[in-house]
Amino acid sequence: MSIPPEVLARAESLRQALHHHNYRYYVLDDPEIPDAEYDRLMRELEALEAEYPELVTPDSPTQRVGGEPLAAFAEVEHRVPMLSLENALDESELRAFDRRVRERLGRELVDYLAEPKFDGLAISLTYETGRLVQAATRGDGRRGEDVTAQVRTIRSVPLRLLGEGWPALIEVRGEVVLPRAGFESLNARAREEGGKTFANPRNAAAGSLRQLDPRVTATRPLEMLCYGFGLVEGGRLAETQGGTLALLRAWGLRTSSHLRVVHGAEGAIAYHREIGALRDRLDYDIDGVVLKVDALADQERLGFVSRAPRWAVAYKFPPQEEITRVLDIQVQVGRTGVLTPVARLEPVQVAGVTVTNATLHNEDEVRRKDVHVGDSVIVRRAGDVIPQIMGVIAERRPPDVRPFVMPSLCPVCGSEVVRAEGEVASRCSGGLYCPAQRKETLCHFASRRAMDIEGLGEKLVDQLVERDLVRTPADLYALDEDTLAGLERMGGKSAANLVEALARSRATTLPRFLYALGIPQVGEATAQSLAQHFGTLEAIMSATPATLTEVPDVGPVVAAEVHAFFRQPHNREVIDGLRVAGVAWPEVDRPPVERQPLAGKTFVITGTLSRPRDAIKDDLLTLGAKVAGSVSKKTDYLIAGSDAGSKLEKARALGVPVLDEDALARLVGG
């Protein structure tokens, strides 16, 4: 099948546009078009390539992730070796480096190209006639591994060079890094799933690149920052290091945004200080600055000693990891009642800041890392992230270490601590009472689908708690207009409105009340099921875990949480207080089956209806139905008002019966 010329032209122009916008977004950090437009262009190209498979070229923007997992990495020989750098650990070592350079060149003052030293994994990219043909790790400097398929998934690596004037063959050298945010979320996910965490972003970047399956690499937000070149054939670069990097940038490769030409040792020292002050605010880890003699001719004259150039030096920062001792492991209770073990450390300077605490996340993490009180540990502090314990130095363990034990009672309020099966978090079960959870509890209690106390938002809750006007939800109902009017951003009118909203909220329903209590794992649907099954709050409060699991959708985890919650005397007191304050709901006995005509049916509601959707939802729930958010094969009915859109289309496509409000009324016999 021959490809029509207009299709060829369109595909090429889409490719160019996508390469360009990719560059704006991933290299310059300065997109010109919204993401949705980029996606649209990508989809158009994908559609063309699907229709005409001969159109697909290896450097098409659609071809970043492709191919099957590799069996092993192939070996690659670097034609120009990848060298290492000499270190300067302080000002005097930096001055000594500068002196040696000046003496060899016979110069008074030398200009250096200065840039951050990225803490990642060195990679060499080979471009032939502007196409990326190979990516390799540094390995031992002479031989590395072929990671082309993996590196192709990195968005800041162009598959074809932009602009013009690139040599016929060029090896571009740079560092692949994982930004801190990506590292944190990768580890957070691993911790949740009980998997292995990475010690630092550099290990995570290396681990992500050394995935035999490039599809795994593609899920990691890696970036590549380029700082130099290896072999160059069939073309010329600039006269200086800085000029060369400007060319690389123009060809679509990402370089540091902190490049600068500095004069002599003084300029280098000032630059080091400046970048050091920025260090915590950068998106990725750096471990120093690199200074390179800027004139390439001078670099050539200086040459190399063993494995490092004489024309460059790594002027290091204090390390982000240090060793210290664990003095104690205490537990902190968060806003949601989660207990977090925190190590109290012998104070230690880490990258310029004194660290005295480090989070240990949860009980499993303490076990996995095998941290005991008395151990020597490696702490890491990077950016604004809370310091972390990376591991224990086993050889230094004294004989009298003490293991960590998760307390069985909340250190803040004395309620029982519950760790549900299959969960990593341990939680305080004193939800309504625990001072650590006050703000969160009150905000949830007041929220629209809970007690619906209009006008009681986060800011107000903060003030009420901070001034100790409210400790538990029951205290809300004792607030009067005068007290409220005295708060910030509260006039007499809004105070009166809030008192009225509080009064209105007293009349509620059992499911809403249950949901408002904020029992872990108990969302609206579960609250509804519990109310329906037991009929009264008293019955739920005295239920055993075994009887709780008889409720549809309630498994052992939910049952354990509900049971633990109501077992806490403090929670019971608050509930009593709420009832005394007048919070009430129509007492329904266990609704007989004939009053649940919609039991087992799943509804979805869409479009504009005569009443708020929530009201219709409440009615349906009371009649035993389930209400879902999206239409699927499991949907029994779609209730559609006017202007219904995609849900209606989907229901029709799946043959789901569609009801208007009249039809619904007939269905329930109303």
Complex with ligand IVH: residue 49 or 175, whichever CB lies closer: 175
**Segment near ligand IVH (CB under 6 A); pick from 82-90, 101-109, 163-171, 204-212:** 82-90
- Single out the residue of 333, 343, 356 nearest to residue 404, CA to CA: 343
Complex with ligand IVH: residue 85 or 295, whichever CB lies closer: 85
Q: Cα separation of 135 and 127, whole Å?
A: 9
The reply to whether 83 sits near ligand IVH by the rule CB under 6 A is: yes
Sign of the CA dihedral running 529, 534, 539, 544: negative
By DSSP bridging, strand 143-145 and strand 75-77 are antiparallel
Q: Least separation, in Å, of the C-beta of 104 and ligand IVH?
A: 17
Q: Cα separation of 608 and 449, whole Å?
A: 19
Contacting residue, 45, 55, 85, 379, with ligand IVH by CB under 6 A: 85
- Single out the residue of 76, 159, 180, 163 nearest to residue 122, CA to CA: 76
Q: Least separation, in Å, of the C-beta of 86 and ligand IVH?
A: 8
**Segment near ligand IVH (CB under 6 A); pick from 10-18, 79-87, 415-423, 646-654:** 79-87
**Segment near ligand IVH (CB under 6 A); pick from 60-68, 308-316, 347-355, 606-614:** 308-316
Beta bridge partners of 321: 380
Q: Cα separation of 102 and 86, whole Å?
A: 17
**Segment near ligand IVH (CB under 6 A); pick from 80-88, 359-367, 409-417, 454-462:** 80-88
Q: Which residue has the tokens 């509620």?
A: 508
DSSP state of 451: T
- Single out the residue of 507, 506, 464, 470 nearest to residue 487, CA to CA: 464
Q: Least separation, in Å, of the C-beta of 166 and ligand IVH?
A: 20
Report how far apart the first and last C-alpha atoms of the chain are (Å, whole number).
64
Q: Least separation, in Å, of the C-beta of 173 and ligand IVH?
A: 6
- Name which of residues 469 to 488 contact ligand IVH (CB under 6 A): none
The reply to whether 420 sits near ligand IVH by the rule CB under 6 A is: no
The reply to whether 312 sits near ligand IVH by the rule CB under 6 A is: yes
Complex with ligand IVH: residue 231 or 663, whichever CB lies closer: 231
Sign of the CA dihedral running 653, 654, 655, 661: negative
Q: Cα separation of 253 and 130, whole Å?
A: 12
Complex with ligand IVH: residue 79 or 493, whichever CB lies closer: 79
Amino acid letter at 533? H
Q: Are 98 and 264 in contact (CB under 8 A)?
A: yes
Complex with ligand IVH: residue 86 or 454, whichever CB lies closer: 86
Complex with ligand IVH: residue 17 or 314, whichever CB lies closer: 314
Which is the catalytic residue, given 117, 617, 626, 647?
117
The reply to whether 138 sits near ligand IVH by the rule CB under 6 A is: yes
> How is the beta sheet containing 86-88 ordered, strand by strand?
86-88, 312-316, 286-293, 111-118, 260-263
Q: Cα separation of 226 and 173, whole Å?
A: 6
- Name which of residues 163 to 222 contact ligand IVH (CB under 6 A): 175
> For residue 510, what are the CA distances in angstroms to 436, 450, 475, 499, 586?
26, 10, 20, 22, 8
Q: Least separation, in Å, of the C-beta of 76 and ligand IVH?
A: 16
Complex with ligand IVH: residue 154 or 290, whichever CB lies closer: 290
- Single out the residue of 279, 304, 137, 113 nearest to residue 206, CA to CA: 137
Complex with ligand IVH: residue 295 or 314, whichever CB lies closer: 314
The reply to whether 242 sits near ligand IVH by the rule CB under 6 A is: no
Q: Least separation, in Å, of the C-beta of 153 and ligand IVH?
A: 20
Amino acid letter at 629? G
**Segment near ligand IVH (CB under 6 A); pick from 306-314, 345-353, 423-431, 526-534:** 306-314
Main-chain dihedrals φ then ψ at residue 566, nearest 5 degrees: -80, -15
Contact map string, positions 91 to 130, toward ligand IVH, x by CB under 6 A: ------------------------x-xx---x--------
Complex with ligand IVH: residue 122 or 132, whichever CB lies closer: 122
Q: Are 306 and 328 in contact (CB under 8 A)?
A: no
For ligand IVH, which residue has the nearest CB?
A: 122
Q: Which residue has the tokens 């004489």?
A: 310
Contacting residue, 63, 84, 357, 497, with ligand IVH by CB under 6 A: 84
The CB density around residue 591, as the number of other CB atoms within 10 Å, is: 16
Main-chain dihedrals φ then ψ at residue 59, nearest 5 degrees: -95, 15
Q: Cα separation of 337 and 472, whole Å?
A: 15
The reply to whether 144 sits near ligand IVH by the rule CB under 6 A is: no
Contact map string, positions 271 to 290, toward ligand IVH, x by CB under 6 A: -------------------x
Element (H, E) at 323: strand 321-333
Q: Least separation, in Å, of the C-beta of 84 and ligand IVH?
A: 4
Q: Least separation, in Å, of the C-beta of 129 and ligand IVH?
A: 25
Contacting residue, 26, 97, 227, 404, with ligand IVH by CB under 6 A: 227
633 a catalytic residue: no
Q: Which residue has the tokens 């690139």?
A: 166
Helix spans in 156-293 (H)? 180-192, 201-209, 214-218, 241-250, 264-278
Contacting residue, 179, 309, 430, 624, with ligand IVH by CB under 6 A: 309
Complex with ligand IVH: residue 124 or 568, whichever CB lies closer: 124
Size of the site for ligand IVH (CB under 6 A): 15
Q: Cα separation of 418 and 433, whole Å?
A: 15
- Rg of the chain on CA atoms, in Å: 32
3-state secondary structure of 273: helix
Complex with ligand IVH: residue 122 or 516, whichever CB lies closer: 122
Q: Which residues are catalytic?
A: 117
Which residues contribute to the site for ligand IVH (CB under 6 A)?
Answer: 83-85, 115, 117-118, 122, 138, 175, 227-228, 290, 309, 312, 314
